[in-house]
Copies of this chain bind each other. A is one copy, B any other.
Amino acid sequence: MSFPAAPALVDASVPCASCGARLDARCGAMADPHLDHLAALALRQTVAAGAEFMAEGEPAEHVFGLTCGTARLFKLLPDGRRQVLGFARAGQFLGLASCRTYTVSAEAVEPVHLHRLPRSRLRGLLDQYPMLERWLLETAAYELSIAQEQMMLLGRKTARERVASFLVGWAAGGRPCVPPLSHLHLPMPRGDIADYLGLTIETVSRTLTRLRIEGLLAIPSPSEIEVLRPVALAAIAGCNSSPTDMMRCDEERRQLHPGLGLGAGA
């Protein structure tokens, strides 16, 4: 709806906008040897900004591993209302559905590099590398806890709290490692943020403006946000999903699987 008709998948010669890498380069994620093997079996692909590469209801024939860029995961209601379920970044897996068809759609927010692995091959890999299955299980459990935190946000938080939570989460997000960034780059438009937070574009904009006026943020451009008072922002976001909690949680994950930082996918 909010986005132009997908111009289909695109070739690889253009360097990735956010990391400069090309198709054959890996952007630093997926350092685990099992995942190297997995990557070797996968097709590499570049997806143009705005293009859909996974569609709710379509046969779930592949799993995807993002190596570069940002994607939005979403569902639509018949009348066009959209819920953005999360933003996937380098290192994340998509398409681990439990049934024959995808349950969510995914589009590139900015040009995305990904590995496309046929589901049939994944089955074989799982048999070959039991640790991979354990890792996927932990990842799925982690995704679930993220989704539950978002349910808390959508069901019970105010607009102000939602926007603050989003910024705090995005700051900690891609690199879950300490410390949360104070300068945020938001590659997605306001409409994506609104649909992620269960708000409208106008409310997101107004709320950001208010946080700016109150001196918590600076907003040099719509896609660049400077967090001036991170502690105050985290306080508004609510004690749950605080950087501290999430970091501790992520820390444990990293000890199990060094070199990886995963987030919300499906």
Contact with B along A140-182 (1 / 0, CB 8 A): 1111110111111011110000000000000000000000000
If A140-B141, A144-B266 touch, does A151 touch B83 (CB 8 Å cutoff)? Answer: yes
Residue contact B137 to A83, C-beta cutoff 8 Å: no
The answer, yes or no, to whether A138 is at the interface (CB within 8 Å) is yes
Contact with B along A187-199 (1 / 0, CB 8 A): 0000000010110
The answer, yes or no, to whether A90 is at the interface (CB within 8 Å) is no
Partner of A249, one of B85, B98, B137, B147: B98
The answer, yes or no, to whether A252 is at the interface (CB within 8 Å) is yes
Residue contact B140 to A198, C-beta cutoff 8 Å: no
Residue contact B78 to A198, C-beta cutoff 8 Å: no
Partner of A155, one of B130, B145, B195: B195
Hey, which chain B residues are within 8 Å of A137, CB to CB? Answer: 133, 136-137, 140
Minimal Cβ-Cβ distance residue in B for A138: B98
Tell me how far the C-beta of A8 lies from the nearest C-beta in chain B, rounded to whole angstroms.
Answer: 26
Residue contact A145 to B240, C-beta cutoff 8 Å: no
Contact with B along A237-248 (1 / 0, CB 8 A): 011100000001
Hey, which chain B residues are within 8 Å of A155, CB to CB? Answer: 83, 154, 195, 197-198
Hey, which chain B residues are within 8 Å of A148, CB to CB? Answer: 75, 85, 103-104, 147, 266
* Contacts A/B (CB < 8 Å), 28 sampled: A75-B148, A75-B149, A75-B152, A77-B156, A78-B238, A78-B240, A81-B156, A82-B156, A83-B155, A85-B148, A97-B141, A98-B139, A98-B142, A99-B145, A99-B249, A99-B252, A104-B145, A126-B134, A130-B133, A133-B133, A137-B137, A137-B140, A147-B148, A150-B151, A154-B198, A155-B195, A155-B197, A155-B198
